[in-house]
Amino acid sequence: MKKLRLLGAAAAALMCAAPAMAADTATNNIGISGTSPNTCTLNSGAQTAATNAAFTPGSGSSTLAITALASAADASLQATSATLTFVGMCNYKHNVGLKSANSGLQN
């Protein structure tokens, strides 16, 4: 009889301990939506390569100047090339363009 009581007490202790071993975390999926104001940033840029050109970054606009438009020896046009890097991010539809100071930008 003593053994039976001891077994009963052990079984009761195991039953009480079982819920303590249950997981204490849960995973749920929650959908969140909201509205963000239009935001657009563009840094002033950096010149990564240039031939016959000089780049001057500015806060509102930047300037790419041709250093020698024509050869001093024979007045022939000098080739110019530049590679510029701009880092930007917009969270809405946008356009990026190039404009010359005197409408002289041609290809």
Helix boundaries (H) for 1-107: 2-17
What 3-state class would DSSP assign to 88? strand
- Structure tokens, 27: 């995973």
For the chain, the domains span: 50-91
Tens of pLDDT along 29-83? 999 999 989 999 988 888 999 999 999 988 778 888 889 989 889 999 999 899 9
User: Using CA atoms, how far apart are residues 52 and 77, in angstroms rounded to an integer?
Assistant: 11
Q: Chain-centre distance of CA 68, in angstroms?
A: 37
User: Using CA atoms, how far apart are residues 19 and 31, in angstroms rounded to an integer?
Assistant: 31
- Is the whole-model pTM more than 0.75? no
